[in-house]
A and B are shown apart, each in its own frame.
Chain A
Amino acid sequence: MTAFVLEAVGLSREFGGFYAVNDVSIGIEQGRIHALIGPNGAGKTTVFNLLTKFLAPTAGRIVYKGQDITRLRPAAVACLGLVRSFQISAVFPHLSVRDNVRLGLQRALGTSFHFWRRGRSLDRLNDRAESLIASVGLQAFMGETAGQLPYGHRRALELATTLALDPEVLLLDEPTSGLGREDIGRITELIRGLAGERTILMVEHNLSVVAALSHRITVMARGRVLVEGSYAEVSANLEVRAAYMGSTNA
C-alpha cells in the first residue's frame, strides 16, 4: 500500500436523512498537493469538516499517520499536526498581526495555561513570528489590528498563523476565494512553496489554481467521489465534464 499520510475510508455524514457525504474514500500522499473539487453542494467542505473533526462522521474511518483519529476531538487533531484553514477568512480580528501568529507559535511553548506568567515571556517568539509574517509578505503590517487588514491580507495572515503550528498536513478550505487576481497569484506561490516537506489538501474552486498546483485531484459530486487522478486525467473524464463543467459537447 502507498504511504498515505492521511486517509479516509467509507466516510459518510447524514443530515436529517440527507447524505451530504456518502461513502467517500480518499488518500493523501506525503508531500503532495491534493485538490478536492466539485460543483457547489458536492460535499467538499463537509469532507473537510469531517477530516478535521469539526463534524463527526455517521460512518467511516479516518487514519492519520497510521493512527485512527476518527474519535479524536478537533483540538487534539490539530496538536497532531493536521491543521485546517477556513472558507471565510479566520483571523483573530482584535489582535495585532504579530499576536495572531504568536498565538499559533505559543502552543509549542507549553505555557498556554500559565495565567501567572508575564506576557513578555512570549517575546522570544517574535523573531519566528516576524519571519513567518514576512514570508507571506505582511512585514509592513506587523502591529496592525488584524480585523482592519484588507481581505487578501487577512487570508495571507491566516496562512502564516497556520504555518506557525509547523503542521505536517494543511487542509486549506478555498484559499483563494474572494481574492483579486494579484492576491490569487501570491497565495498560489505561497502554497506551492509549502509542498514537499508538508502535505496539502485543498478545496478550491478556481480551476486554474488547481491546475497550477495540484499533483492529484479528487472530484466530488452529490456527496460521492466521482473520479480521482491527475489534472489531465480528470479533465479528460467525460463524467467530470458532464457533472462539473457541464459541457459534454462544448
Chain B
Amino acid sequence: MRDAPGQPLLDVTELRAWYGDSQALHGVTFNVYQGEVVTLLGRNGAGKSTTLKSVMSIVSRRTGSIRHQGTECLALTSDAIARRGIAYCPEERGIYSSLTVEENLLLPPVIAPGGMSVEEIYTLFPNLRERRSGQGTKLSGGEQQMLAIGRILRTGAKLLLLDEPTEGLAPVLVEQIGAVIATLKQRGFTILLVEQNAHFAAGLADRHYVVEDGRVVDMIARADLAASGARLAAYLGV
C-alpha cells in the first residue's frame, strides 16, 4: 500500500511536542494512506501515545506539520480536528463513569454521514447491548475497550486513532479486538494503531513505524516483517 497513488490521508512531518517544559516528541514523521492499518510500535514512554495526542491537538505545545487530506491541521483545536473526520480512542479507554454505557456510546456527535448505526455496533459488540443502561466504568476491561472503540464508529469519521486497544486485556480478548480491527479495515476505515504488543500488530497492520525516544526511527512493511524480526525485537528490548 505504500506506493498507493495520490497524497496520504494523514501526513505528519517533524512533529515535536511538549508537556510543560519536558519535550516528549523530538521530530516524528510518518504517513497513513487511505484504507491502511498502520501501527506505531515502541517501548513504553517512547512517545507513541503522545503522537496520537498531538495529532488530536490534546498536547499543550506542538511544532511541525500535520496534514489531513492535504490540509494543515496544526493550528486547529481538538474539536475542529474531530469534525474533520478523525476519531480518537484514548489509552486507558476514557470511559466516562458519570455516563451509562449507552450514553457513552452516543456521546460523540455525528460529523459526517456513513457512520455505523447503533444496531450495527451492538451486533459487533453484543455484550454492550446487554449492559447498555449500566454505568460505563462498571464494565469489564474488555467490554470497556469495545465501548471505547464502538463509540467512535457511529460518527462517520473515517480515520480512527486507536491507542493501545489491547492494553491490560486477557489473550482471548486481545484476539477479539484484533478481529474487530480487521473487520473495520474491511469496511473501509483507515486505522492508526499504537501498540506495544508487536505480535498483535503483526497480524493486522500494513506497515509499522518504530518510535524511539520521541522519534520515528524505522519503518517496516508487512512483507518485510518476517525478515526483520530480530531488528524489531531489538527495538522493543525483548
Using a CB–CB distance below 8 Å, which chain A residues touch chain B? 16-18, 39-42, 151, 174, 177-178, 180-181, 205-208, 221-222, 235, 241-242, 244-250
Q: Give the distance to chain B from A91, nearest Cβ to Cβ, in Å.
A: 13
CB contacts (< 8 Å) of A178 on chain B: these are 19, 22, 24
Q: Which of B6-46 contact A (CB under 8 A)?
A: 19, 21-22, 24, 43-45
Q: Could you list 19 further interchain pairs (A-B, Cβ under 8 angstroms) beyond the known A245-B237, A247-B197?
A: A17-B138, A39-B168, A40-B167, A41-B167, A177-B45, A178-B24, A206-B43, A207-B237, A208-B237, A222-B141, A222-B170, A241-B238, A242-B199, A245-B198, A245-B238, A246-B195, A247-B198, A248-B199, A250-B238
7 A-B residue pairs with CB within 8 Å: A16-B97, A17-B137, A40-B168, A41-B92, A222-B168, A245-B236, A246-B200
Q: Complex formed: what's the CA distance from A40 to B45 in Å?
A: 9
Interface range, B side: 20 to 34
Contact B167 A249 (CB under 8 A): no
Residues B130-172 near A (CB distance < 8 A) = 137-138, 141, 164, 166-168, 170-171
State whether the Cβ of B196 lies closer than 8 Å to any Cβ in chain A: yes
Beta-carbon nearest neighbor of A241 in chain B: B238
The 9 A-B pairs at the shortest CB distance, nearest first, are namely A246-B197, A205-B44, A207-B237, A151-B22, A178-B22, A205-B45, A245-B238, A247-B198, A41-B168
Does any Cβ of A come within 8 Å of B94's Cβ?
Answer: no
Q: Are A42 and B168 in contact (CB under 8 A)?
A: yes
Chain B: which residue is nearest A245 at the CB level? Answer: B238
A41 surroundings in chain B (CB, below 8 A): 92, 167-168
Instruction: Find chain B residues with CB under 8 A from A181 CB.
Output: 213
Q: Which residue of B lies closest to A179 (CB)?
A: B22
If over half of A's interface residues share one DSSP class (helix, strand or loop), that class is named, otherwise mixed; here it is loop
Q: Are B21 and A151 in contact (CB under 8 A)?
A: yes
Inter-chain CA distance A143–B143, complex, in Å, is 53
- Chain B residue at minimum C-beta to C-beta distance from A174: B45
- Asked whether B137 lies within 8 Å of A18 as measured between CB atoms, the reply is yes
Minimum CB–CB distance for B10 against chain A, Å: 24
The answer to the question of B232 belonging to the interface, with a C-beta cut-off of 8 Å to chain A, is: yes
A221 near B236 (CB under 8 angstroms)? no
Indicate whether B233 reaches chain A with its CB closer than 8 angstroms.
yes
* Distance of A210 Cα from B102 Cα, bound (Å): 43
Which residues of B have CB within 8 Å of A250?
Answer: 198-199, 202, 229, 232-233, 236, 238
Q: How far is the CA of A198 from the CA of B198 in the complex (A)?
A: 37
Measured CB to CB, the nearest residue on chain A to B174 is: A246
Q: Tell me if B164 and A247 are in contact (CB < 8 A).
A: no
CB closest residue in chain B, given A148: B21
Is there contact, CB below 8 Å, between B198 and A40? no
A188 to chain B, nearest CB (A): 15
Interface centre among B24, B137, B237 (most CB of A within 10 A): B237
B9 CB → nearest A CB, Å: 27
Chain B residues near A235 (CB-CB < 8 A): 238
B232 to chain A, nearest CB (A): 6
> Which residue of chain B has its CB nearest to the CB of A205?
B44
The chain B residue with its CB closest to the CB of A147 is B21
Given the complex, which residues of A lie within 8 Å of B137, measured CB to CB?
A: 16-18
B91 in the interface (beta carbon within 8 A): yes
Question: Which of these, A18, A40, A221, contacts B44 with CB under 8 Å?
Answer: A40
Residue of A nearest to B19 (CB): A178
CB–CB B233/A205 < 8 A: no
Report which residue of A17, A241, A245, A249 has the largest number of chain B beta carbons within 10 angstroms of its beta carbon: A245
Query: What CA separation (Å) do A40 and B141 show in the bound complex?
Result: 13
Q: Which residue of A lies closest to B93 (CB)?
A: A41
**Interface positions of B from 182 to 238, Cβ below 8 Å from A:** 195-200, 202, 213, 229, 232-233, 236-238
Give the distance in Å from the alpha carbon of A101 to the alpha carbon of B229 in the complex. Answer: 47
